Each structure stands twice: as structure tokens, then as C-alpha cells.
Amino acid sequence: MKKKVVLLGATGSIGSSTLRVLRAHSERLQLVGVAAQSNDRELAAICHEFAVPHAVLNDDASYRRARQGSGFPGTTQLSSGTQALEALAALPEADIVLIAVVGVAGLRPALAAIEAGKDIALANKELLVLGGAHVVKAAQRKGVRLLPTDSEHNAIFQCLEGHPHGQVDKLILTASGGQFRDSPVDQLATVTPEMATQHPNWSMGPKITVDSATMANKGLELIEAHWLFNLEPERLEVVIHPQSIVHSFVQFIDGSILAQLSPPSMTFAIQHSLLYPERATPVEATVDFTNPFSLDFKAPDYARYPCLQLAYDALRAGGSAPAVFNAANEVAVARFLAKELAYLEIPEVIRHCLSTTHNDPSPSLEQLLEIDAETRAQAQALKF
């Protein structure tokens, strides 16, 4: 029996790595639904190649363009909008939904998939940062699996297997340190969007590449780890590991540490989460021990990475603070990429939004979405 997969965010960086895994394992995995924001040509090409029966283009203008020129196969049912995205996430024939859209747009589709009893492979971290309490509760209630596709969380998930929660001392997330890890701190003021969107190890979408440079990404991942693995901030640590080969560690109460290693490509984590609990041949070369190489580790310097400190602060504060952190960061990064803000103003936007927003200790999902929208407006209007 093939596992039937819905892929939300099919034209992005995670999306294209997922297609490589699907091509290599077509005898085990079948693509039954795809979604993208606006890239109609690429989505149509995917529907042709994989004979996908259901597709959603979220953007209405792109959808209308696709309907007119229709490069889509006649056998693909194409729809548009957020409700269509939620319906796709709950597609009756699907077994697993890989959520690889960017930002909080992934939240409602994730909840729709959970309500429909689908397992989730989760690449999108922002939805857990915003709505972690609600998503985890819903998944537990419905008895569905939240399988981490983010490489660090996938590594931790693999290391934790078979070990009771009470034996875990801490989780240690590895971080590449981004492209400015060795630049003098006083040169960070001159970083441009062109510089910040080039990553030394990983090929990823622009937003997460900037987040990697500021380590806001690791901050979001700490919050993601808190929700996925039910551990308090004191038991979540970050270590800089420039080679991105160890994807994270689990330290147990007896001092033993387990790690997961694979080359810096998302195909390993994607394949693991889609095929789980099965394993199969990888689509890329594995770690090669025939040529010498080193693995380095060092503690992060918070003066270089103020966004990481702000993420810890938000995680410790709890309530609505992580949602504020996420929304402020997303807008600040977009404004930096649009050349409206300087690189060092990204943490300043987050700091300002966190310190001026009342922290609601247990917000409802609707309240969180309101706080998200308000924070975005605030971060957008902020002038320096």
C-alpha cells in the first residue's frame, strides 16, 4: 500500500526536496494533493509529472491566470483560497500532510488536517510558535502523529525513540551560526539583503536564510522543540556547529548524549518523516568517512545573535509572547529584504514589539491570530 501524501508548499525549497524523495520512492509514496501560493507554471508541471488529482493556488490572480491558460492537466482539480487549502489538508484519501508553506499561513491547514485524522509531517515551525498549545492538544485528542521534518527536531525525534520522557535531561539544538558567524560584530551594521540570503551550508527560502543569519530561526526552533517534546526552556540549549552534519543532540540524565548525523540536505529529514516508521535508501550520498573532516562546536555569543536571546525571553514569558516574537520577526525580515530596515534593526523591531505588547498568559487561537495581526501592523509602522 502506498502512503498518500498532500504537500502544502510544493514549489518552495522544502517542496522541491520533497519531490526528489517522492521521485525516488514512488513505490511507497504517492502525491495526491499539492498547494502553492502563486507559481502556477511550476505547480502545473508538478501536477503533470506526478499525475496529482488535487491542486490549490492560494493567490486568486494566479488561479485565474492558470484557469485561462490552463497548463494544468485536465485530470487535476484546481481550486483557490484559504478554504480550499484547508480542504486539501483534510483530503479524504490522504494519509499524511507535509506542511511546507512559509509563515502562519500553515496554521489553519494543519488544524484541518489534524481534525480529519491525518498524520502531519511538519516543516513549518511558525505555526507551532504561534499556536503550539492548540496544535499539540488537537493532535493528542485526535491521536495523530506530529512528525518533525525540521532537521533538528527530526534528529531529536530519532534520538528519543524508545526512551521514556523522564530519562531526558536536555535537548541540544545545533545551529550553523549562519553566514556572519565569523564576521566582526561591528561589521554586521553593513549587512545587505544580498549578503544575508546566501547560506554557507543550506539552500533554503529567503526568509529562513535571513533567520539563520540572525539565529531567529534557532529561536523559533527552541519554541518548536518546547511544543514537540514537552520540555521547559531550561532544558533546551543551542550549540554552534558550522558543518551542519550533527543535526542535534539529546542528553540523558546519566550524562550520555545521542546525536543524529547526515549531510546538510533536507531530503534526509523529509524522507524520514514521510516514510516513518519505515526506512529506505537515501536520495543523496551519505556522510563520507573516507576523507578526513572535523566537527566543531561552540557556545553561541548573544551579542552577535540578540534574536536568540529574545526568543528565549519569549519562550520563558510564554502565553502570547512567542506569537509576538514570530510576527515581529517575520515583518522585520520582510522589511529588511525590501531595504526598508537595516540588518541590526531586525532584533530592535522584535524587542520593541515584545516590550510593548501585554502578555496574555493563555490566549485562544482567535486571540493569538489577533495578536499576530496587531504585531504585524505595529512592526510594519515602526520607524527608526
Residues at the interface with ligand NAD (CB under 6 A): 9-15, 35-37, 39, 58, 85, 100-102, 105, 123-126, 150, 202, 204-205, 208, 266
DSSP of 121-153: EE---HHHHHHHHHHHHHHHHHT--EEE-SHHH
> With respect to ligand NAD, which residue has the nearer C-beta, 119 or 211?
211
Binding at 135: pick from ligand NAD, Mg ion, none (beta carbon under 5-8 Å per type): none
Cβ partners under 8 Å of residue 85, min gap 6? 8, 35, 56, 58, 105, 108, 109
Least distance from Mg ion to the Cβ atom of residue 51, Å: 31
Residue closer to Mg ion by CB (options 71, 200) is: 200
> In whole angstroms, how close is the CB of 25 to Mg ion at the nearest point?
22
User: Nearest to residue 378, comparing CAs of 344, 343, 360, 351?
Assistant: 351
Cβ-based neighbour number of residue 37 at 10 Å: 18
**Binding-site partner at residue 363 among Mg ion, ligand NAD, none, CB < 5 to 8 Å by type:** none
Task: Using the minimum distance from each CB to Mg ion, give the nearer residue, 151 or 214.
Answer: 151
The residue among 155 and 275 lying less far from Mg ion, judged by its C-beta, is: 155
Using CA atoms, how far residue 172 sits from 41, 222, 240, 246, 297, in Å, is 41, 9, 10, 11, 11
Closest CB to Mg ion: residue number: 150
Residue number of the CB atom closest to ligand NAD: 12
223: cell is 519554541
Question: Is residue 126 a contact residue for Mg ion (CB under 5 A)?
Answer: no
Least CB distance from residue 81 to ligand NAD, whole Å? 9
The residue assigned the cell 501560493 is 37
Within residues 292-331, the interface with Mg ion by CB under 5 A covers none
Task: Report the C-alpha gap between 272 and 324 in whole angstroms.
Answer: 32
CB of 77 to ligand NAD, least distance (A): 16
The one-letter amino acid code at 309 reads Q
Q: How far is the CB of 199 from Mg ion (least distance, A)?
A: 12
From Mg ion, ligand NAD, none, interface partner of 101 (C-beta below 5 to 8 A by class) = ligand NAD
Q: Which residues contact 383 (CB under 8 A, 6 or more apart)?
A: none
Q: Which is nearer to ligand NAD, 124 or 357 (CB)?
A: 124
* Nearest by Cα to 280 from 31, 29, 30: 29
Residue 325: what residue type?
F
User: Between residue 140 and residue 199, which ones bind Mg ion under the rule CB under 5 A?
Assistant: 150-152
- Kindly list the residues in this chain that would bind Mg ion in the complex (CB under 5 A): 150-152
